[in-house]
Structure 1
Amino acid sequence: MTGPRPPGDATGQDLPTRSGWERLGVGLPLVQAPIGGACTPALVAAVGDAGALGMLAGSWLPRAALTDQIRAVQRATARPFGVNLVLEWPQHERLATALDHGVPAISTFWGDPAPYRERIQAAGAVHFHTVGSRAEARAAADLGVDVIVAQGWDAGGHVRGTTATLAFVPAVVDLVSPVPVLAAGGIADARGVRAVLALGARGAWVGTRFLLAEEAGTHPDFRRRLVAATAEDTVHTTVFADGWPDAPHRALRNTTLTRWEAAGRPAAGARPGEHDVIAEHRELGPVRRYADVVPLADHVGDVEAMAMYAGQGVGLATTTEPAASIVADLARGFAAPE
């Protein structure tokens, strides 16, 4: 793909240019995935300052809280960033909030982006849409989405499809060319970035590695589990369904998952301990077992039993470090081989 590169591009890669990626001024075709409540304004700003694109997780925030987070990022950095919206629920008000505050990138996931596309385009924002199937990819390309994120089954958190990154990314690239594709799922170091570029992706979408960023709101016990975990410790499951039912996800095996499996994976209403309050947060309130809630720094209680989302690249995420260091390591994947 040809076209002008944004200011500061040091990768030598051709960057996505449909509908104005170049106006974002992002030096690396690398996006920090919206890692739920652990995604803080400080993390998003640090990723942007390091030359990549940070992404706020806006899907469940009240409009006032989303406004506060957007303004916090804007105070912390002049670099561009985005807001992610999960389309399982109506997101028109949150989209309006983001666009009214000048957010230059909008990411959508888990639903039909068509009702939102016109408003995103009219605002001049770059529209990313994450897909888990060829049919979703084709529909997004036909709609005119600017950048398609091809999420493999390897990914952590909520997983849309059933095909692994290695097979899914090139299939999507071939299907939607020349629409640029970012790869998601199992990418946690420079080797993963280099691999997805070889598959035809124009860049990478990385989540699990950023859970270990110093700026992330990840609970210390969750950090320790991530550092100790390997790919075999992750499970593709539907156990953490309260708050987001019928949505498969990948998480670290823990006591909640083990008890549920031992009981035969029963449906809601028959799950062991499903009324237990396992943790508390001073602002967000109590957490019940099976809730779609990740352990944050201010949670107290049995945080080990909460939803510890992580992708299969978790074994490559071995230490807590500044977001800038994570971006710098991943950026080596864009450099020409020596």
Structure 2
Amino acid sequence: MTLRTAFCDLVGIDFPVVQAPIGGPSRPALAAAVSNAGGLGVQAVSWDRPDQLERRLAKTQGLTSKPFGINVVLEWPQHDRVAQCLAAGVRVISTFWGDPAPYTEMIHQAGAVHIHTVGSAAEARDAVTAGVDVIVAQGWEAGGHVRGEVSTLALVPAVVDAVAPVPVLAAGGIADGRGVAAVLALGADAAWIGTRFLLADEATTGPTYRDALINAAETDTAHGIVFDKGWPNAPHRTLRNSTVRAWQAAGRPEPGQRPGENDVVGTWLDGQDVPRYADLAPLAGVTGDTEAMALYAGQGTGLLRETQPAAQIVEEIVEHCQARLTRW
């Protein structure tokens, strides 16, 4: 059984599996491994300096000849980064958290595909009207920063109906082949999977973060505005760690009044202090009380069992999805 969809044909991949950008843990080795396995690897580049971005793109292109994508958050101007990626030959540009309209023309002029993440059918219609080629319907179950408040099961078919025949990718709570089969049945063209790939060998997820993901149940995440230093007023889903529990026990106070507001909980890779409530997830090499940092994760975390090579994750997801669809 083939799993190839219209989206696969559009971007040149074999399987409807997209590795979500997952912020800091997403690096060239991860994106390249996913792309080499037949999916689409995507990297978060919203805060890269031009020299960092140049090295990132060159390294990725040295590891794969397959398509890969980049993601930028539109809370901040991203024209220069998008232009640099397009000039380097990237042909899949993903945008999030803002108006995609100012970016569609430059993306299309370069012959690239524009993907935009939304949290509602209305937002999806606006994005398509602006010229976006592919929509990611992000359910409330998703880890990291979450755009809307609707579950994946309810959101995906609503968005599919709203923007057909534009391809729709489903995000939020999808961590295995059963989830991919489910969203394909809902009308999605592919699954946008983040939390599962945090446990890829190639991800730079810190060891305490990995252990917490493996040991967490599906009930162990919290949604709200907690880790907001660096990105204010942006709801997100993380594991319920010591910082989140203390904040909840205090009655969920506003920023500036939270427990340990002025604490420094660790040291970043460049030697900078990491304050409590920073929006930084602990990467390998970050030191300090990393358990207290932002452990972004979706509700699919209860399905995580072990660290694996990214290619094995893709293979396993595809195999289990095919088996489920064949059974149906």
The verdict on a shared fold, with TM-score over 0.5 as the criterion, is: yes
Partner residue in 2 for 1:136: 123
Partner residue in 2 for 1:245: 232
Q: How does 1:197-208 map to 2 (within 5 A)?
A: 197-208=184-195
Q: C-alpha distance in 2, partners of 1:11/1:123?
A: 30
Say whether the 8 Å CA contact 2:266–2:275 is kept in structure 1: yes
Q: C-alpha distance in 2, partners of 1:261/1:78?
A: 47
Q: C-alpha distance in 1, partners of 2:38/2:31?
A: 11
Q: Give the CA deviation at 1:24.
A: 3.3
Tell me, yes or no, if structure 1 residue 337 matches structure 2 residue 326. yes
Say whether the 8 Å CA contact 2:18–2:41 is kept in structure 1: yes
Q: C-alpha distance in 1, partners of 2:320/2:160?
A: 19
Task: Normalising by structure 1, report the TM-score.
Answer: 0.93
Question: Which deviations, in whole Å up to 9, do the C-alpha atoms of 1:217-246 show, x marking residues without a partner?
Answer: 000110000000011000111110111111
- Structure 1: any 5+ residue segments left out of the alignment? 1-9
Q: Give the CA deviation at 1:287.
A: 0.8
Partner residue in 2 for 1:14: 5
Partner residue in 1 for 2:110: 123
Partner residue in 2 for 1:217: 204
Q: Give the CA deviation at 1:334.
A: 4.7
| Partner amino acid, structure 2, of 1:141 | V
Tell me, yes or no, if structure 1 residue 90 matches structure 2 residue 77. yes
Q: C-alpha distance in 2, partners of 1:328/1:260?
A: 40
Aligned with 2:44 (options 29, 52, 57): 57
Question: Which deviations, in whole Å up to 9, do the C-alpha atoms of 1:80-135 show, x marking residues without a partner?
Answer: 10110000111011111111111110000000000011000101111110000111
Q: How does 1:100-115 map to 2 (within 5 A)?
A: 100-115=87-102
Aligned with 1:280 (options 237, 246, 267): 267
Q: Give the CA deviation at 1:215.
A: 0.3
Partner SS for 2:232: coil
Total equivalences in the alignment: 325
Partner SS for 1:319: coil
| Partner amino acid, structure 1, of 2:326 | P
Q: C-alpha distance in 2, partners of 1:98/1:134?
A: 29
Partner residue in 1 for 2:214: 227
Partner SS for 1:188: coil
Q: Identity rate of aligned residues, in percent?
A: 59
Say whether the 8 Å CA contact 1:31–1:206 is kept in structure 2: yes
Runs of 4+ more than 4 Å apart: none
Partner SS for 2:147: coil
- Structure 2: any 5+ residue segments left out of the alignment? none
Q: What is the RMSD computed on CA atoms of the aligned residues? A: 1.3
